[in-house]
Amino acid sequence: MRIGFIGLGIMGKPMSHNLLKAGHELVVSNHNAASAAELMASGARQADTAREIAEQVDVVITMLPNSPQVTEVALGTDGIIAGAHPGLVYVDMSSIAPLAAREVAEQLAHQDVLMLDAPVSGGEPKAIDGTLSVMVGGDRAVFEQVEPVLRAMGTAVVHVGDIGAGNTAKLANQVVVALNIAAAAEALVLSAKAGVAPEAVFEAIRGGLAGSTVLEAKAPMMLDHNFTPGFRLNLHIKDLVNALDTGHEVGASLPLTAAVLEMMTALKAAGHASDDHSGLVRYYETLAKTAIGRNPS
């Protein structure tokens, strides 16, 4: 299938590589010149604008920071809508506000462009190995049409409802992840402050009910103070803001989400916006006036 991909960052570049490995023709945006050059070396072509990409492909995929960027790429003067043609499908894999996804889809529908919102979970490691979880909203027939494309990038690909439902599922995912990271950080700092080695506590609890994918992925990063971003703190802040806005819109109170958002915002103000979200442990270390780490060898 002929696919356009716009947004070649930490997630988008490896996702694009997996589409090429699956045998799809790929046209990429040249906004990120280094990533575009790398993909061209693997067989992709490049174009200057979203309009030019849309004109020559069957499916356009975007992986962008937030709602304003998605709206501009989809609906701007040189956007996807300007390159609309019969049969074009737009799949936004960014994490944005559900209302924004619905508004973009409504405008594109006037030009007979069909849209899915299909945000992902799993971070850079799963983007690289093609095992992302993909949460998809939109018409089921359109989903079935592009499902093989999505399965080139993810192993869990689930249709969850109408347009906007994908991003609602992603916000729910981000709430669960944020609260799990906070709980793991809180528990490990408690251990250290009480004089029990956090690494030993991690080993003791990981096989029980407290065990989780989040604990397995993030506790070692906390113990090593390795905050190289797999998912940046500032992006998680964006997702939690969208979750709270959506909660306000539908009348769902999210008090724990609000608390973790404030913790992350404090870390951003302290200069840690580009760190991995596991860096949330720093917030608890500051409060407890202690630091966690590995057992001495």
Separation between Cα atoms, residue 277 and residue 227, nearest integer Å = 8
Residue of 13, 126, 170, 218 marked active site: 170
Phi, psi values for residue 46, rounded to 5°? -125, 160
Q: Is 268 a catalytic residue?
A: no
Separation between Cα atoms, residue 146 and residue 87, nearest integer Å = 12
Angle between helices 98-109 and 233-250 (to 10 degrees): 80
Q: Which two tokens stand for residue 2?
A: 């002929």
Q: From 279, 203, 196, select the one nearest 234 (Cα to Cα).
A: 279
Separation between Cα atoms, residue 235 and residue 132, nearest integer Å = 17
Q: Which two tokens stand for residue 269?
A: 């103000």
Q: Who's near 166: CB < 8 A, 6+ residues apart? A: 101, 116, 117, 118, 119, 135, 136, 137, 138, 160
Cβ proximity of 295 and 203 under 8 Å: no
Residues involved in catalysis: 170
